[in-house]
Each structure stands twice: as C-alpha cells, then as structure tokens.
Chain A
Amino acid sequence: MSAMARTPVTEQGWNEAIERLAGGRATLLGLWGDGDDVTMALLDGKGVTLLSNRCPNREYPSVGAQHPPAIRLERAIRDLHGLDAAGAPDRRPWLDHGVWHGGAPTPYAFLAAEGEGLHQIPVGPVHAGIIEPGHFRFTANGEHVVRLEERLGYVHKGIERLMQGVSFDAAVKLAARTSGDSTVAYSYAFALAAEAALQAVAPPRAAYLRALMAELERLANHFGDIGAICNDAAFALMHAQTAILRERVLRAAHTCFGHRLMMDLIVPGGVVRDIAKDGADTLRALLAEARKRFPRLVELYDNTASLQDRTVTTGVVRSDFVRQFGAGGYVGRASGRDFDARRNLAYAPYDALKFDVPVLEAGDVNARVWIRIREVEQSLSLIEQILDRLPGGPIAAAIDGKGAPCEGFAVAEAFRGDVLVWLRLDSGGRVARCHLRDASWFQWPLLEAAIEDNIVADFPLCNKSFNCSYSGHDL
C-alpha cells in the first residue's frame, strides 16, 4: 500500500502525537517495537503517518497514560521487546504468563471491584464450546455484571519472532496462520506490505482474484457469525440454515482455488493459483443460491420477537468509545464509526469496485448482526462485479527482494476489521521484522465495556457478536 517512511520524532514530537490522540484529532492504528524503536501508526483525515521514537535507554513516554487504547499494546511491547512505557497506568504483563523460559505460571492480579454482595465468576481459558482459549473474570451482583476483565495471551505462539530472518515464503505462511478465519486477509495485508516495501505491484488479474478470495472469506465468516449469534440466543434454526450457506461458500472456494479456507494462495507479487475453469460458474450458482435463501433468513431474524428480545439493546457499545479506540469492522460500524479500509485506505482493486459501507448507530448486538447482513449483500455484489470484470493476464509478478533494506506498510479489511502489517526487509530480501495488528486489539477492550450492566447469560451473545480473534491478538 505504501512504502511510507517512518518519521523519526523526538520526545517532544512523540508527546505531541499523544496529545493529538488524547484530543481525538487522530486515531491510533498501531503501536509496535523494533530494536530500540517504538513506532506508532496514526490515522487522521489526511491518511496514515508512522512516527518512530528511538529509545536507546529502553524507555519511551507512555501513550496509554493519556490514551487508553494503547495500554495493552504497551504491555505487549514490554513482554516481547523489553521496551518500557514510562508512566504507564498498567504495568502487569499481558502476553507473557511467566512460562516461556520454564517455571510455573505467574499469578495474575485481576482488577478489584468493591461493593456488597459481589461475587466472581472465572471462565476459561478452556471454554465450553469449540472456540479459542482465553480467560474472562466476571464480577457480578446476582445476574448483573459489574465488571468483566479479560486475560488473553494463551495462544501466543511467538509469530513475530518466528518471522525474523526468514524468507518471504516462510513469513507469508506464518502470516496466513495468524488467525485462521482471516487467513486470506492476513496474506493479503502481508503481500501488500511486502509489495509496498519493494515498490512492486501485483498484476491486475491477481488483484481481482485476491479481492474475490477476500469477499468469499468475508461471506463465509458473516454467514457463520449470524447463525452463531442466534444460536447463543437458543435459536438453532438460524444456525442450521446459515451453516448450510457457509458450507456452500467453503465448497465453492475449494472448487475455485483448491482449499476451503483459501490458505497460502496470496503471496507477495500476486497469487499462486488461478481460478479453476468451472470456478466462475460455481460462484454464479453460489450467488443465486445465497440471494434466494438469505433474504428469507433475514426476514426470519427480523420477525422473530423472542430473538429480537435478546439482541436489541443488549451489549451496547458507546459511539465515543469506538471512535476513541478506532474500533474497526462491524463493532465500529454498528456504533457509528464510518471506516472501512477497503474504502478509506483504498487498495486495488477496491478503488475500482462499487460498494457501500453500512453504518448504524445503535451499537447493540442487533446492530452488529445487521451490519453483517448488509455486508453479506455488499460482498455478493462485489463477487459479481469481480466475475464480470476479471482481467486477463498473468497472476503474479516476479518479486526480487534483494537490494537495499526497505520497509512497507499496509492495511487490509478482514471480515472483523482492519488488519495492519508493517515489515522491514534486509538486503538479502529476508524479513528483518514484521508486525501484525489484528482488529481485535481495539475491540476486545470494548467488550468489557459492552457487557457492563448486562446479565451474565447475555455474555455469550455479546461475545459472539464481537467474535474477536484470540490467535490474531495473542500472536
């Protein structure tokens, strides 16, 4: 997307940036460490800026002290790079549970809640369903949740460290396995960042095939989520029906590209596999089927009072919070944040395609369902446009990583929100450092706020309506 250089800033420049964030004049898009440098990505009306603060004494002024969305990122930076945020409000480890170098897990000091009749409910890391691991600590008064605190990091695999010093081939495989449900989006963002660093461009056919995969991935996940949210309100019929649609999408993906989740297909330079001969016909049949079935399910959702009773006004996320946290995806858009990387930071081929970005204000579970419903409709239309306009030509350009060291940055829109990838290549074309930031970093904290004053039994519903990534966050 952009080979934009990081702008070195002094401590004064760093502090000015913090003021802009705290004053709501810019959104924090990412914060990461690399050697002695801490870099923040800022988004404002003019686009993205990368500011880098060199701190040879291993300390930098805390962003989180004035701008809470940075708190967990700073804790992670300390765990992974040993760079300390001076004045940080929360100094507990985040991803580091104390076992990486042997020994027993370190006890974790959960935040307190005081009051009469409060009790705690610990949940996880092993959950009841087929989902990823994480710990939730509820403090409740009877059924009412007074405080929820998340503890994550259980699936930390050290992805960024594994990427250091490896070739593109190895690194893009790791990127594709950062969050399995967004494997296309991660490979997409990684490829765009690598191309930005090397000032290469994927051929037009590759760009369209990438978007095709990305929209299929979005479709499959949204179908799955809409059903799963209803299932958490004990409305199994919807779950069964959307699971059929999801399976049809995955089968179509397999027919077109040979892999149900479309893993390892997008690489720097293009894509590794062209769409199968019968791919377009398969997808047109899929579109027809989805357009026939889905509206009826939407009607069913809208007309089932007992279901609406569970989703409307449940788990409200305040619009000032989504703006402050720069929450992407349906979490942000259901609470009035009109942002979609496909449009706001447009990359090929989305700059040439027509689509709407649905935005609602209510911010409840229901609104997050409706954003998904509207996005399903948009994805169906995008897939059709792509099939109609799929250009001919090669599917990949040769990429030569060897040359001067360089850096690249890209943001791609996954189904749950924007994925940021920043990378630095050495002169041998190997990855010297790569940072991957999932949308979940800025959504997880809002789940804690959304559940406040809701009842414990509505937590699964709220949680599923967010469907944050554990693996993408834990790295």
Chain B
Amino acid sequence: MRRTLFESLTHAPLTEPAPAPDEAALAELAQSVNRTARAKLGRSLSIRQIDAGSCNGCELEIHALNNAFYDLERFGLHFVASPRHADVLLVTGPVTKNMREALLRTYNATPDPKWVVAVGDCAFNGGIFGGSYAVAGGVGGVIPVDLHIRGCPPTPTELLKGLIALLDRANEVAVRRA
C-alpha cells in the first residue's frame, strides 16, 4: 500500500488538464464549471442520482465522473446519498411505470431550490423504450426537467458539459428571482 501511496505523491496526477485534441473540451469545461460553480453556488453543488428505469449504461458513465481522470469533486460537485441533501437530481432512464411513484417521492423529498437534469436519450423521451405498456416516457412527463443531456449513454465529458449548462441556467434563474 505504501508503494502505491508514495507513487501517487511523486507521479503527476492523472486528472486531466490535457490539451490534446479530444481532451481539450474537457480541460476547457473544467475551468468553466469551476468559475460558475464558485460564483453562484458557493463552492459546492450536491447531486443525487436516480435511476428511474435505465439499462444501467448511464450509471456507469456517471460513475466515471468520480474517477481520477474527470475528478468531479474538484469543482465542488459531489454525489450525495439522500435527496434531502441534494440541489440537483440527475435522473436516468425512461421512467418505468413501476418507478414513477418512487421518482415523484424523491423529487418531493428534495428541498427547493432544486434542478432536475435528465441524462440519456431514454430520459429525454423514453428512447427506444417509448410506447411500451410498462414505460411512462421521458423524465419530463413526470417531473419538471431543467436540462437534458443526450447520448446513449452520454460520455463523462458530455455529462460535464451538461453540468455547465445547468449552472448557467441556475444562474439565470437566480438573476431573474433577484
């Protein structure tokens, strides 16, 4: 264990500011998220993820946001275990009829102000599961959605992009309310 720990002290971090073509967007996003988050929400934004019927693909990529390459927490964005602690609900999946009630209760348990981000093509409009007897449809049909992040599943970079859009929007709302 000591060797692994020491190595992470002496080696450059994996976390990417990397300006290589594909990673440029990520580095740029990193700065942008940081600025907006700090200005409008102090230093932190708590996210509660809810799988309302997803195939689990979106969850895998949301998980990846926590790894050393994307390191979401450096922006003050972090996942929390309870909707009571959340500012943002990150909802995946077509909403199945069997999960509709649980999603509504989770939404109601989240204190205001709150934002809902629907992640993935299924969360947008039900995706390829739309029209099924067991599916209620996109997230927007059940609770109000502030932002959609499309993709099947969206990559961690696309998820980061979406979070910026959300912060900008939260910003607008805050300005309007003031």
Chain A interface residues (CB < 8 Å from chain B): 95, 97, 99-101, 104-105, 125-126, 128-133, 153-159, 161-162, 170, 173-174, 177-181, 183, 224, 237, 240-241, 243-244, 246-247, 250, 260-261, 263, 296-297, 300, 303-304, 469-471, 474
Q: Does B178 contact A (CB under 8 A)?
A: no
Q: Which residues of A contact B152 (CB under 8 A)?
A: 177, 263
Q: List 28 A-B contacts (CB under 8 A).
A: A97-B98, A126-B102, A126-B106, A128-B81, A130-B51, A132-B51, A133-B102, A155-B54, A155-B93, A157-B94, A157-B134, A157-B135, A159-B132, A162-B131, A170-B128, A177-B57, A177-B128, A180-B55, A181-B57, A237-B4, A246-B64, A260-B61, A261-B57, A261-B60, A261-B61, A261-B153, A469-B56, A471-B56
Within 8 Å by CB of B96, from A156, A170, A180, A469, lies A156
Q: Name the residue on B nearest A124 (C-beta).
A: B102
Binding stretch for chain A, among B66-74, B140-148, B162-170:
B66-74
Chain B interface residues (CB < 8 Å from chain A): 1, 3-5, 14, 49-64, 66-69, 79, 81-83, 93-94, 96-102, 106, 128-129, 131-135, 152-153, 155
A161-B132, A161-B133, A303-B1 given as contacts; is B67 within 8 A of A263 (CB)? no
Please provide the 6 A-B residue pairs with the shortest distance between their CB atoms, ordered closest to farther. Answer: A180-B57, A128-B81, A158-B132, A158-B134, A243-B67, A180-B55
A156-B134, A174-B128 given as contacts; is B59 within 8 A of A132 (CB)? yes
Q: Is the CB of B128 within 8 A of A173?
A: yes
CA of A174 to CA of B132, assembled, Å? 12
Q: Is the CB of A105 within 8 A of B101?
A: yes
B129 to chain A, nearest CB (A): 5
* Count of chain A to chain B residue pairs whose CB atoms are closer than 8 Å in the complex: 146
Q: Is the CB of B54 within 8 A of A471?
A: yes
Q: Apart from A303-B1, A470-B56, what 6 extra A-B contacts exist at CB < 8 Å? A: A99-B100, A130-B79, A162-B131, A180-B153, A243-B67, A297-B4
Q: Is the CB of B128 within 8 A of A247?
A: no
Q: Is the CB of A100 within 8 A of B58?
A: no
Q: Chain B binding site: helix, strand, loop or mixed by DSSP?
A: mixed
Q: Is the CB of B98 within 8 A of A99?
A: yes
Q: Is the CB of A177 within 8 A of B55?
A: yes
Q: Is the CB of B64 within 8 A of A247?
A: yes
Within 8 Å by CB of B97, from A99, A297, A303, lies A99
Q: Is the CB of B1 within 8 A of A157?
A: no
CA of A157 to CA of B50, assembled, Å? 16
Within 8 Å by CB of A153, from B3, B67, B98, B106, lies B98
> Counting chain B CB atoms within 10 Å of each CB, which of A131, A157, A261 scores highest?
A157
Q: Is the CB of B60 within 8 A of A181?
A: yes
> Counting chain B CB atoms within 10 Å of each CB, which of A104, A129, A155, A179 scores highest?
A155
A243-B66, A303-B1 given as contacts; is B58 within 8 A of A157 (CB)? no
Q: Which residues of A contact B99 (CB under 8 A)?
A: 125, 133, 154-155
A157-B132, A157-B134, A158-B134 given as contacts; is B1 within 8 A of A304 (CB)? yes
Q: Which residues of B contact A304 (CB under 8 A)?
A: 1
Q: Name the residue on B nearest A183 (C-beta).
A: B57
Q: Which residues of A contact B57 (CB under 8 A)?
A: 177, 180-181, 183, 261, 263
Q: Which residues of B contact A296 (CB under 8 A)?
A: 3-4
> Counting chain B CB atoms within 10 Å of each CB, which of A128, A133, A304 scores highest?
A133
CA of A158 to CA of B128, assembled, Å? 11
